[in-house]
Chain A
Amino acid sequence: MNSVIPLSAMDLSIAASLLVLLGGLTWWLRLGISQRLFVAGLRTVVQLLLLGLVLKYLFESSHPALIMLIAFVMVAVAGREVMARQHRPFKGSWGYGLGTFSMFISSFTITIFSLAFIVSPEPWYLPQYSIPLLGMMLGNTMTGVALTMDSLTTSAWQQRAVIEQRLMLGEDWRTAIRDISRQSLRTGMIPILNAMAAAGIISIPGMMTGQLLSGSSPFEAAKYQILIMFMISAGTGFAAVMSSWFGAKRLFDDRQRLRLERLSVPKG
Chain B
Amino acid sequence: MAILTIKNLIIAHVGPVNLELKSGEIVCLSGASGSGKSLMLRAIADIIPATGTFSLGEMKSSSVMAPVWRRQVSLLPAESQWWFDTVGEHFNQPDLELMHALSFEKDCLEWEVSRCSTGEKQRLALLRVLTNKPKCLLLDEPTGSLDPDNTLKVEALLKRLAKQQQIPLLWVSHSHEQIKRVADRHFVMRDGKLVTYE
Docked pose: A169 CA to B70 CA in angstroms: 7
Picked from B70, B79, B82, B129, the residue with its CB within 8 Å of the CB of A167 is B70
Q: A255-B66, A256-B66 are known contacts. Are A168 and B45 too (CB-CB below 8 A)?
A: yes
Is B46 located at the chain interface by the 8 A CB criterion?
A: yes
Q: How many residues of A contact B (CB 8 A)?
A: 18
Most buried by B among A166, A179, A256, A258: A256
Docked pose: A234 CA to B90 CA in angstroms: 35
Docked pose: A165 CA to B76 CA in angstroms: 9
Picked from A164, A165, A170, A258, the residue with its CB within 8 Å of the CB of B68 is A170
Complex interface residues of chain B between 71 and 115 (CB less than 8 A to chain A): 71, 74-77, 79-83
Q: Is the CB of B83 within 8 A of A257?
A: no
Docked pose: A135 CA to B138 CA in angstroms: 55
Picked from B65, B70, B82, B83, the residue with its CB within 8 Å of the CB of A168 is B70
Q: How far is the CB of B37 from chain A (nearest CB, A)?
A: 16
Docked pose: A255 CA to B70 CA in angstroms: 11
Q: How far is the CB of A24 from chain B (nearest CB, A)?
A: 54
Q: Is the CB of B70 within 8 A of A170?
A: yes
Is B49 located at the chain interface by the 8 A CB criterion?
A: yes
Picked from B48, B66, B81, the residue with its CB within 8 Å of the CB of A165 is B81
Minimum-distance CB pairs A-B, first 7: A170-B71, A165-B81, A256-B66, A162-B81, A170-B67, A170-B70, A255-B66
A-B contacts, 28 listed (Cβ < 8 Å): A159-B83, A162-B82, A162-B83, A164-B77, A164-B81, A167-B47, A167-B66, A168-B45, A168-B70, A168-B74, A169-B74, A169-B128, A169-B132, A170-B67, A170-B68, A170-B70, A171-B67, A179-B83, A253-B49, A255-B46, A255-B49, A255-B66, A256-B65, A256-B67, A257-B46, A257-B48, A257-B49, A258-B47
Q: Which A residues have a C-beta under 8 Å from some C-beta of B?
A: 159, 161-162, 164-172, 179, 253, 255-258
